[in-house]
Chain A
Amino acid sequence: MTEVRLDPEVVPGAPVPVSDEELLAGLAAGRLEALDALYERYKTMAYGIARRITGDDTLAEDVVQEAFLGAWRGADRYVAGRGSVKTWLLSIVHHRSIDAVRRRRPVTELPEEAEGALTPGPLALPDVWGEVSGRLDAGAVQLALAALPVAQREAVDLAYFGGLSQSEIAERTGVPLGTVKSRVRLALVTLRRELGMSVSAFADGDAGEGTT
């Protein structure tokens, strides 16, 4: 092997823990490895959420793929100051799960937008998400949830995990729309308090109506 010239470019690899933010930067740069790593980190939560909302394993798979593709294509639109990567990502999963449930039930369906099932557009990204989820453990949230009055717990559960619109929730629970709205608001405000987060007058605001 006299004529052989082999110049190995060995890359020194000092293992460095990679933050979610760094992985997201990798997504924005088009690195499949970063997508893979982010997926590995949150796949079980994402799939759990999608299954919970859709109640359908196959649909849940589609949703999770769409959600991660949405993050892949929209990673450069993540705004760090507005919350953690984790909740941003899981909010996308939540958002698309709700969409999927609604698409499956054509009753109240409006004409589809041009975007195809696998081309999540800008609207697939969440409007509101919080950093808070990243700092909480499931037990604390479960406890806070258990402390809610049954009617509030049911309302917020149907609203957040049921894929139901407010009028469907009203129909299902047999109460007026205004009551649905105030129950969900009260539930969320109480959760915040129970979890030790501040509640401003804005959020607590018009909780007076129909609080039975």
Chain B
Amino acid sequence: MTVPHTLRCDETRDLAPLFVTGSLEPAEAAAVREHLAGCGDAHPEMLELGEAATALLETVVPVEPPARLKAGLLAAAAADLEQGRHPASPAHASTAPVPRAPAASAAREDPLPAALTPVAGASGDGGGSVTGLDAARGRRGGSRLAWLVTVAAAVGAIALGAINLSLRQDLAAAQAYQDGVNQALDLAAKPGSVTALLVGEDDSVSGFGVVGSDGSVRLTMKGLAPTTGTQVYTAWAIEGDAAPVALGDFSVGPDGVVTAIAQSPTSAPGAVLALTLEPAPGATAPAGPVVAAGTTRDAAG
């Protein structure tokens, strides 16, 4: 069929069944779209036939996809944020507001690294594919924030993949966690900061710890079992062979998410940040089980 430059209404109606099922040639489909965009007629047949077509999707047998698909998707989505391809990403060209805590602006004294400029046009480098931590570190070129964002995404991926969070029911907790991570990232972006990924033995617990050069600690965790009675989680800093130093205690609500602020005696990379579950506040040496731990590293890589 020869596609006329502009379709009339009756021709568009005639093509509707094939348009809504996706079986027009691309040029024909484009001609239909063009007509619909400029036509005064609402073309209700498009919606009616389209609804009937999408009903067919119900007949498809659901199939569980491989787990790697989710990891790849989340990594690619995180890369979108990092590289300005998402409307809400900090570097996106549009004026979309960036959903961050007010404190974020104060942390932006440093000029944003070059890697945060949008690179949407340059997708030839495989941008958007799975970006592992190593890959992200490998293409540094001064982009510490880019690396940190990738780390944050990895934190998300680890925890989400493992415990499948009860997110469907509790996006609020997830958002609280994301806000916590965002604020931790602001601290981590400052010179001299060290960061640690904290994970539990079975990956059900995870989080992101940052120690600023002044020893200020920000710890954002999720997947923690709620505390009961006098139970508390105690955060520890362990440097080399030295005895663990308690950073403080906190309790956790039913959402399993917490952001804790503390002061650490050490801000050197290589220290271990750990969480234990203690029967009561004020422990001076860890007695309860280790819930999650991770080693700090220089955020700049």
Whether A133 contacts B60 in the complex (CB less than 8 A), given A65-B69, A189-B49, comes out as no
A171: interface (CB < 8 Å): no
Partner of B19, one of A16, A72, A110, A127: A127
Assembled-state Cα–Cα distance A5/B250 (Å): 11
Assembled-state Cα–Cα distance A13/B252 (Å): 10
B87: interface (CB < 8 Å): yes
Q: Which of A154-201 contact B (CB under 8 A)?
A: 156, 158-167, 169, 177, 180-181, 184-185, 188-189, 191-192, 195, 197-200
Q: In the bound complex, do residue A37 and residue B63 qualify as a contact, i.e. CB atoms below 8 Å apart?
A: no
**Complex interface: chain A residues within 8 A of B250 (CB):** 6, 8, 10
Q: In the bound complex, do residue A9 and residue B73 qualify as a contact, i.e. CB atoms below 8 Å apart?
A: no
Q: In the bound complex, do residue B129 and residue A118 qualify as a contact, i.e. CB atoms below 8 Å apart?
A: yes
Q: In the bound complex, do residue B44 and residue A159 qualify as a contact, i.e. CB atoms below 8 Å apart?
A: no
- Most chain A Cβ neighbours within 10 Å, of B26, B52, B86, B156: B52
Q: Which residue of B lies closest to A160 (CB)?
A: B21
In whole Å, how far is B113's beta carbon from the nearest beta carbon of chain A? 18
A124: interface (CB < 8 Å): no
- How many residues on B have C-beta within 8 angstroms of the other chain's C-beta atoms? 106
Q: Which residue of B lies closest to A67 (CB)?
A: B73
**Complex interface: chain A residues within 8 A of B238 (CB):** none
Assembled-state Cα–Cα distance A205/B170 (Å): 47
Assembled-state Cα–Cα distance A184/B88 (Å): 41
Q: In the bound complex, do residue A30 and residue B261 qualify as a contact, i.e. CB atoms below 8 Å apart?
A: no
Q: In the bound complex, do residue B63 and residue A137 qualify as a contact, i.e. CB atoms below 8 Å apart?
A: no
Assembled-state Cα–Cα distance A208/B164 (Å): 53
Q: In the bound complex, do residue A110 and residue B55 qualify as a contact, i.e. CB atoms below 8 Å apart?
A: no
Q: In the bound complex, do residue A32 and residue B120 qualify as a contact, i.e. CB atoms below 8 Å apart?
A: no
Q: In the bound complex, do residue B53 and residue A160 qualify as a contact, i.e. CB atoms below 8 Å apart?
A: yes
**Complex interface: chain B residues within 8 A of A138 (CB):** 58-59
Q: Which residue of B lies closest to A75 (CB)?
A: B87
Q: In the bound complex, do residue B260 and residue A7 qualify as a contact, i.e. CB atoms below 8 Å apart?
A: yes
Q: In the bound complex, do residue B88 and residue A28 qualify as a contact, i.e. CB atoms below 8 Å apart?
A: yes
Q: Mark B267-301, 1 if CB is under 8 A from A, else 0.
A: 00000000000000010100000000000000000
**Complex interface: chain A residues within 8 A of B76 (CB):** 65, 69, 118
**Complex interface: chain B residues within 8 A of A76 (CB):** 87, 96
- Most chain B Cβ neighbours within 10 Å, of A28, A37, A140, A162: A37
B25: interface (CB < 8 Å): yes
In whole Å, how far is B88's beta carbon from the nearest beta carbon of chain A? 3
Q: Which of A39-55 contact B (CB under 8 A)?
A: 39-41, 43-49, 51-52
A203: interface (CB < 8 Å): yes
Q: Mark B1-19, 1 if CB is under 8 A from A, else 0.
A: 1000000001001111111
Whether A13 contacts B69 in the complex (CB less than 8 A), given A98-B22, A132-B55, A133-B58, comes out as no
Q: Mark B193-230, 1 if CB is under 8 A from A, else 0.
A: 00000000000000000000000000000000000000
Q: Mark B235-256, 1 if CB is under 8 A from A, else 0.
A: 1000000000111111111111
Report the interface size class on chain A: 35 or more
- Most chain A Cβ neighbours within 10 Å, of B54, B74, B176: B54
Assembled-state Cα–Cα distance A28/B52 (Å): 28
B144: interface (CB < 8 Å): no
Q: Mark B86-104, 1 if CB is under 8 A from A, else 0.
A: 1111000000100100000
**Complex interface: chain B residues within 8 A of A83 (CB):** 51, 54
**Complex interface: chain B residues within 8 A of A128 (CB):** 19-20, 46-47, 49-50, 53
A18: interface (CB < 8 Å): yes
Q: In the bound complex, do residue A197 and residue B51 qualify as a contact, i.e. CB atoms below 8 Å apart?
A: yes
Assembled-state Cα–Cα distance A56/B105 (Å): 47
Q: In the bound complex, do residue A1 and residue B246 qualify as a contact, i.e. CB atoms below 8 Å apart?
A: yes
Q: In the bound complex, do residue B44 and residue A65 qualify as a contact, i.e. CB atoms below 8 Å apart?
A: no
Assembled-state Cα–Cα distance A4/B234 (Å): 12
Q: Which of B55-84 contact A (CB under 8 A)?
A: 55-66, 69-70, 72-74, 76-78, 80-81
Query: Which residues of chain A have a CB within 8 Å of any CB of chain B?
Result: 1, 3-18, 22-23, 26, 28-37, 39-41, 43-49, 51-52, 60-61, 64-65, 68-69, 72-73, 76, 83, 87, 90-91, 94-95, 98, 102, 108, 110, 116, 118-119, 127-133, 136-138, 140-142, 145, 156, 158-167, 169, 177, 180-181, 184-185, 188-189, 191-192, 195, 197-200, 202-203, 205-206
Apart from the given pairs A12-B255, A118-B127, 16 other A-B contacts in the complex at a CB distance below 8 Å: A1-B284, A6-B248, A6-B262, A13-B256, A15-B173, A30-B81, A33-B156, A69-B80, A91-B57, A130-B51, A160-B53, A166-B25, A188-B52, A192-B49, A192-B51, A195-B52
Query: Which residues of chain B have a CB within 8 Å of any CB of chain A?
Result: 1, 10, 13-27, 33, 36, 43-66, 69-70, 72-74, 76-78, 80-81, 85-89, 96, 99, 120, 123-124, 127-129, 153, 156, 160, 164-178, 235, 245-263, 282, 284
